[in-house]
Amino acid sequence: KQEVTQIPAALSVPEGENLVLNCSFTDSAIYNLQWFRQDPGKGLTSLLLIQSSQREQTSGRLNASLDKSSGRSTLYIAASQPGDSATYLCAVNQGGSEKLVFGKGTKLTVNP
């Protein structure tokens, strides 16, 4: 059974810092991996999707990497801003269906 773990559970940084969020998964046979953002009391916003054949994806200040063989992904946020404060969720999609398995998320607080 696939399990997704995110470390740390919470992170607080001053504005302007670069930071890395970590995601690990137990079964490396994934189809793709997605990073989402969730604001309090809201649904999820898709940030980046990495196919299993890819190593990384970039969107603006965000860069996600994937090391499928070791079961790890990182989300790098450059020059963090208070508006980046949210919970970041990692999810993997395994072959055969579109179901996602989610981690518990990392709650990020960027202090002005």
Interacting residue with another protein among 12, 42, 58, 82 (CB under 8 A) = 42
Interacting residue with another protein among 46, 70, 81, 109 (CB under 8 A) = 46
52 binds another protein (CB under 8 A): no
Instruction: Give the distance, in angstroms, between the CA of residue 43 and the centroid of all CA atoms in the same chain.
Output: 15
Count CB-CB contacts under 10 A for residue 18.
11
d(CA 27, CA 92): 10
Site for another protein in 92-111 (CB under 8 A): 93, 97-105
62 binds another protein (CB under 8 A): no
Residue 37 Cβ vs another protein, minimum distance, rounded to whole Å: 10
Q: Are 1 and 94 in contact (CB under 8 A)?
A: no
